[in-house]
Chain A
Amino acid sequence: MKQILTAEQIDSTLERLYKAVTSQIPEDMPVAVVGIRTRGETIARRIVERLAKDKPKLHVDFGILDITFYRDDLSRKRGAPLVRATEIDFDIDGKWVLLIDDVLHTGRSIRAALDALSDFGRAEIIRLGVLIDRGGHELPIAADFVGKKRSVPTGQRIQIRLKENDDKEGAYIIKEEA
């Protein structure tokens, strides 16, 4: 396990992501920020909290998406860990929706998230923001807002740790189990 970002660097990466988002956030449309469980939820929550401070007039809905049921690799191999509820208690019809995840890799989680989102209504626009884009995309999916690009060879994966979930902050490269 190798650390690639320190807590301070996570901070500045998040800052870049936030700046990219705010530069394009529409003033004339209802906005919603939806985080993908678990780390995406935390990052989305931080963005929403900052938006509330910086743009007090802007109404922003906050939602959490659990994509387990939408994955294309649901199988008997892994058994069934606990699935948490999706919490989107607002109407997404006609909204500018910002989807947030921690790491963009194959794009399969995002595909699942787009499927899940469409079950909640028809968003006007969906944009994708990620903390780190590590490359290795397998689907025609790219992020609109990226905190940091860092290519990582196949067989390794990036793990983000955030204080809300893991007590400490940082980004690490770990070898994928075979």
Chain B
Amino acid sequence: MTKKVPISSRKKHKITDFVGGDVSERTTTQRIAALVPNPSPVEVTSGDDFVWTRKDLLGLDQLSPQEIVHILDTAETFREVSTRSIKKVPALRGKVVALLFFEDSTRTRMSFELAASRMSADTLLLTSKGSSISKGETTLDTIKNIEAMGVDVFVIRHGESGAAQMVAKQVTGSVINAGDGSHEHPTQALLDIFTIRQRLGRLAGLKVAIVGDIAHSRVARSNILGLRKLGAEVVVVGPPTLVPNKITAMGCSVSHSLDEVLGEVDAINMLRIQFERFGGGLFPSLAEYSKLFGMTSARLKRCKKDVLIMHPGPINRGVELTSEVADGPNSCILQQVTNGLAVRMAVLYLVSQGKID
């Protein structure tokens, strides 16, 4: 017989951070102390016997550190394919990859498209403009119809958070989240993390700043989750209107001054300022944002010598960073794009090999 517990005495659901314990019961100093990475962070490895078994990639939230490293290591293998004279392997020959972009995207779409074709898969493309989406069909009806044509992998970009997860529950094929609302953008974070590991040789113990509109950024969320799982420290930087204090619950620290963190970080990820958010009065003017949070040569001089300057693109030159910084030796913006291809090839391969229970 089950024992009845009065509601009042039931334990409240507690928010715990990476150190464990209830966050709400800690003082701010304790909370910040808990966020300092452990004194001897250890690089995560996936091990030779590790086998990937997931059929979907919905976010970095669900993944274990070993699974993330397995994707990065597999991407390392696919980098070689792009250096061959015949840049194609038959791993997904005969498979169909549907690219469903309910929200506009150029580089993510092209990157997935090229990744799929390098794996010898056939691709179907759906973009929001001029499709049945604009004729009033529901998302699920659209997807069910496309699935009926025989699709193995769905790559989904959608304006609503949780869209990819909803689709994954409804289809038998694999689902890759290519960005859902302000929730997650796992492949972007994976390519960012891959690039940091490639350039700096490790992740554990590094400190990474993410600068910009943190509140609405799926790129920031996925990056924070992935970097923390692999032992890196994250500080998010931006004006208070764009950086909610609650974000510390994800295990990162917050700063409202870029100048204060410059000297202590190993990589700086400058997020794109989305002009469409201007009307909301979240910051007074572009010029002021750029003055306080833009990366300039003067600011670069105060950083560590081999600091990495990253940007998920597209860049607004002169806003998030100046041209000298974007095209300078510390920038790895184009390398991120190149790596994005390898990471997406790896993800397409892995999910299509993932077990179906």
Contact = CB atoms under 8 A, between A and B. Distances in A.
Interface stretch (B3-11, B44-52, B253-261): B44-52
Interface in A41-100: 66, 68-70, 74-87
A82 B353 contact: no
Contacts of A11: none
B90 A69 contact: yes
Given A85-B77, A85-B80, A86-B80, A78 B86 contact: no
Nearest to B55: A76
Interface in A113-156: 115-116, 119-121
Given A74-B91, A85-B76, A85-B77, A79 B85 contact: no
B88 interface: yes
A68 to B, nearest CB: 8
Nearest to A115: B90
Given A79-B53, A80-B51, A80-B349, A70 B89 contact: yes
B356 interface: yes
B74 A83 contact: yes
B51 A81 contact: yes
B65 to A, nearest CB: 15
Contacts of A69: 89-91, 119, 349
A82 B90 contact: no
A69 B353 CA distance: 11
A119 B46 contact: no
B89 A119 contact: yes
Q: Which of A66, A80, A85, A86 neighbours the largest number of chain B CB atoms within 10 Å of its CB?
A: A80
Given A80-B349, A82-B73, A119 B86 contact: yes
B77 A66 contact: yes
A77 B48 CA distance: 19
Contacts of B88: 119
B354 to A, nearest CB: 7
Contact of A82 (B50, B55, B356): B50
Contact of B51 (A70, A76, A79, A85): A79
A95 to B, nearest CB: 15
A86 B51 CA distance: 20
A66 B74 CA distance: 12
A77 B300 CA distance: 50
Contacts of B70: 82
A74 B352 CA distance: 10
B354 A76 contact: yes
Contacts of A81: 49-52
A120 B90 CA distance: 14
Contacts of A120: 84-86
B304 interface: no
Q: Which of B52, B88, B90 neighbours the largest number of chain A CB atoms within 10 Å of its CB?
A: B90
A79 B84 contact: no
A86 B73 CA distance: 13
A81 B47 CA distance: 10
Contacts of B46: 82
5 contacts: A69-B89, A79-B51, A80-B349, A115-B90, A119-B86
Nearest 4 interchain pairs by C-beta: A80-B353, A69-B91, A69-B89, A80-B52
Interface of B: 46, 48-53, 55, 70, 73-74, 76-77, 79-80, 84-86, 88-91, 119, 349-350, 352-356
Given A119-B84, A120-B86, 17 more contacts: A69-B89, A69-B91, A74-B91, A75-B353, A76-B355, A76-B356, A79-B52, A79-B53, A79-B355, A80-B51, A80-B350, A80-B353, A82-B48, A83-B77, A83-B349, A86-B80, A115-B90
